[in-house]
Amino acid sequence: MFAGRMMDYPLTLTHFLERARTYHARCEIVTQNPDRTCSRATYADLHRRAAKLAHALTRLGVGPGDRVATLSWNHARHLELYLAVPAMGAVLHTLNLRLHPNELAYIAAHAEDKVVVVDRSLLPLFRKFAPQVRCIRRVIVIGDDGPVDSDGLDYEALLAPEPDHVDFPRLDERSAAMVCYTSGTTGNPKGVVYSHRSLVLHTLVSCMHDTLGFRDRDVVLPVVPMFHAAAWGLPYSAVATGARIVLPGPHLDPASLLDLMARERVTFAAGVPTIWLGILALLDEHPERWDLSAMRAMVIGGAAAPPALIDGFLSRHGLVVTHAWGMTETNPLGTVAHVRSTLDLDAAASLDTRASQGYAVPFIEQRHVGPDDRPLPWDGATMGELEVRGPWVAASYLGGEGEDRFTKDGWFKTGDVVTIDADGYMRIADRTKDVIKSGGEWISSVAIENALMSHPAVLEAAVFAARHPTWGERPLAAVVLRQGQTASKDELCAHLEPRFAKYWLPDDFLFLDRIPRTSTGKFLKSKLRDEFGDLLEKRASG
């Protein structure tokens, strides 16, 4: 082989941290505190404090590969942990504070967490599961507003005496940097171990203009929690580019987020659709209250963004939505619904494309397969399971579980049922576990939900399978109406009729105050199925 002669320079997160100090020292990190005041630090502070943290953790016995867990909201100290722990060669494990204590106990034990860093406000939750987890040796408590009087070590007191310089070790780019767990809606949660290399490559591709595109003049607001899939890589993208980062703390209601976006002149925000549905409803009620003129992109992912949401932001408020798809197993970004300039689409086709899940970002490959595992045609109609591969796609789970998700020829089975069109745009019809099969035919719950959410009286809609004595399964729709609005079942049915074959129309509409959500804010259809899955059978027999 005629080998290349370039340096073998490791792709590690340490580089981003060093670079932030060298070139972006004055760039700001803004944290909204629990009392709604804002604290401000800089990337120079980030580097200094990361050094102190690395010394402190070393003093506590944290060595290469040891897991350091966090149970924290989005704030500057969490960002310090995001950088310092991987840079010192240890592994950050972000615990999802919305999980049940039993799940947290399972996950912390499974990951073998040695040290846990906890927000003081989350100590009651921590105490519910920590006694069951024998591997935890140290607890460090982040006081939101002053020193900590508790059974743990005080984060600030721990850092105070440490030197603010450290020579971070030269790491193997394939070494582990972070562990994130899938939410485990089916079976136990599974651990996905990101390497430095996967996170660095994910960051670089995320920063490309037609992916998410970050610039140093951006002001980035990760609404997506830092305990969920590395906050979609946004903290690393911000640090890598020198963008200002605004961290919302525990205040994730629409009004608080809008206040923060307007006050800090946020240019780029990202979160799941349920957050954005609430934000759009509030903006529609008070279109003049917030100045969002700085905003240039709002990324929606984690669940399908309804076209009515994307269109509503643009047509009524001039705000651009970027729709993206990803999974914990893909670091998480996999596809982005960027409309390529060569496509030459009219407004309706452009909205349809922007509401698709998009096409694979560089270095991710996508295909969909049938039950016999053969690749299916990209015709925009044939449904099959999406498979992906690439340098930031998991090759296995921690502990070797879930082997059936990894194919022999190197693809990861996503569990999403999709179509792919001739231009490569992928559209999610369902997750395999949510699929509705009526008389042997697949019905896309996502398509019906999208159509329902385009009705002016509908705030949220989730369509799920109910068992049926004749058809096996039939769709039911759970609907939340906007405040002060009404819509009858007949009206909603009439709204759907022109768009779908008759057998796709839900057998019934259930009007709820709220659709149950998962720990990451997505609609929890398994709960709807548990509660209402036998409704049609009961009716038939009664």
Residue among 55, 190, 413, 431 that touches ligand ADP (CB under 6 A): 431
Token reading at 264: 């800090």
Beta bridge mates, 297: 268
Closest approach, Cβ 306 to ligand ADP, in A, equals 10
Q: What's the rounded Cα separation, in Å, for the pair 29 and 66?
A: 27
192-251 residues in contact with ligand ADP (CB under 6 A) are: 229
Q: Residue 441 pairs with which residues in a beta bridge?
A: 438
For the bound state, the minimum distance from the C-beta of residue 78 to ligand ADP, rounded and expressed in Å, comes to 19
Q: What is the C-alpha to C-alpha distance for residues 96 and 94, in angstroms, rounded to an integer?
A: 6
Interacting positions 345-384 with ligand ADP (CB under 6 A): 357
Q: How far apart are CA 536 and CA 430, in angstroms?
A: 21
Residue 301 or 307: the one with the smaller Cβ distance to ligand ADP is 301
The answer to whether 274 is a known catalytic residue is no
Contacting ligand ADP (CB under 6 A), which of 46, 303, 309, 360? 303
The stretch near ligand ADP (CB under 6 A) out of 38-46, 165-173, 306-314, 414-422 is: 414-422
Catalytic choice (128, 442, 489, 531): 442
Which DSSP category does 40 fall into?
E
Cβ contacts of residue 9 below 8 Å, gap of 6+? none
Distance of closest approach, residue 205 Cβ to ligand ADP, in angstroms:
17
- Classify residue 358 by its DSSP letter: B
**Among the candidate windows 233-241, 300-308, 374-382, 476-484, which touches ligand ADP by CB under 6 A?**
300-308
Binding residues for ligand ADP, total number by CB under 6 A: 23
Of the two residues 152 and 307, which places its CB atom closer to ligand ADP in the complex? 307
> DSSP string spanning 67-106?
EEEEE--BSHHHHHHHHHHHHTT-EEEE--TTS-HHHHHH
Task: List the catalytic residue out of 112, 329, 387, 473.
Answer: 329
Q: Is 489 a catalytic residue?
A: no
**Site membership for ligand ADP, residue 522 (CB under 6 A):** yes
Does residue number 89 form part of the binding site for ligand ADP (CB under 6 A)? no
N-to-C CA span, the chain: 75
Among 326, 384, 506, 521, binds ligand ADP (CB under 6 A): 326
Query: Quick check: is 329 catalytic?
Result: yes
Region 495-514 residues binding ligand ADP, contact defined as CB under 6 A: none
Closest approach, Cβ 414 to ligand ADP, in A, equals: 5
Residue 275 exposed, middle or buried by CB count within 10 Å (0-12, 13-18, 19+): buried
Q: How would DSSP label each residue in 390-448? A: STTS-SS-GGG--GGGB-TTS-EEEEEEEEE-TT--EEEEEEGGG-EEETTEEE-HHHH
Stretch of 97-105, 140-148, 295-303, 457-465 contacting ligand ADP, by CB under 6 A: 295-303
Q: Which two tokens stand for residue 423?
A: 């231009």
400 Cβ partners below 8 Å, 6+ apart? none
Q: Which helix (H) or strand (E) holds 125?
A: helix 123-129
Q: Cβ of 282: how many Cβ atoms within 10 Å?
A: 17
Residue 39 CB, shortest distance to ligand ADP, in Å, is 29
**Which amino acid is located at 27 in the chain?**
C
Annotated catalytic residue within 28, 58, 437, 527: 437
Rule CB under 6 A: say whether 301 interacts with ligand ADP: yes
One-letter amino acid at 175 equals S
From 70, 185, 241, 322, residue interacting with ligand ADP (rule: CB under 6 A) = 185
Instruction: Decide whether 87 or 304 has the Cβ nearer to ligand ADP.
Output: 304
Q: Closest separation between CB of residue 17 and ligand ADP, Å? A: 26
327 binds ligand ADP (CB under 6 A): yes
Q: Which amino acid is at 483?
A: Q
Residue 520 binds to ligand ADP (criterion: CB under 6 A):
yes
CA separation for the pair 108, 112 (Å, rounded): 6
Is residue 191 part of the contact set for ligand ADP (CB under 6 A)? no
Among 32, 94, 274, 328, binds ligand ADP (CB under 6 A): 328
Q: Binding of ligand ADP at residue 323 (CB under 6 A)?
A: yes
State yes or no: residue 428 binds ligand ADP (CB under 6 A).
yes
What is the C-alpha separation between 356 and 338, in angstroms, rounded?
A: 9
**Catalytic member of 14, 31, 70, 182:** 182
Q: Are 142 and 119 in contact (CB under 8 A)?
A: yes
Q: Which of 173, 385, 416, 473 binds ligand ADP (CB under 6 A)?
A: 416
Question: Where does 162-306 have alpha helices with state H?
Answer: 196-207, 234-241, 254-263, 273-285
Cis before 235 (ω within 30): no
Region of 168-176, 205-213, 235-243, 322-330 interacting with ligand ADP (CB under 6 A): 322-330
Candidate segments 9-17, 36-44, 145-153, 517-525, binder of ligand ADP by CB under 6 A: 517-525
CA–CA dist 434, 403 (Å, integer): 21
Interface with ligand ADP (CB under 6 A)? 182-183, 185, 229, 301-304, 323-328, 357, 414-416, 428, 431, 518, 520, 522
Which active-site residues does the annotation give?
182, 329, 437, 442
